[in-house]
């Protein structure tokens, strides 16, 4: 994805039952579905951390899916903060 003026990047922290249930891979599938780049990472405190970048409408749809999570997850809380976009990011990965 190339960076332009309409590209937005967000930092997301998801808490609840979000590790050991395929959450990062679910996020990857949804990111690819909506044309989102970035990454997902399990944190030591049991939460999942995501940075995601794309068009604002696509990010809204992506975060809507994150609120639902995969089948066996139980999302309790999501924090979303807008951060500066990165240039030349091409894919979404699991760290």
**Side-chain half-sphere exposure of 68, counting CA atoms within 13 A:** 10
Is 45 annotated as catalytic? no
Choose, from 9, 32, 33, 42, the residue flagged as catalytic.
42
Is 24 annotated as catalytic? yes
Q: Strand, coil or helix: what is 47?
A: coil
Q: Is 31 in contact with 37 (CB distance < 8 Å)?
A: yes
Choose, from 24, 45, 58, 88, the residue flagged as catalytic.
24
Active-site residues: which are they?
24, 42
């Amino acid at each position: 994805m190339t960076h332009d003026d309409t590209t937005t990047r967000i930092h997301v922290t998801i808490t609840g039952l979000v590790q050991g249930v395929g959450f990062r891979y679910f996020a990857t599938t949804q990111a690819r579905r909506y044309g989102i780049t970035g990454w997902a990472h399990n944190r030591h405190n049991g939460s999942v951390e995501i940075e995601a970048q794309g068009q604002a409408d696509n990010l809204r749809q992506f975060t809507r899916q994150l609120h639902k999570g995969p089948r066996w997850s139980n999302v309790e809380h999501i924090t979303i903060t807008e951060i500066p976009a990165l240039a030349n990011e091409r894919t979404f990965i699991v760290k």
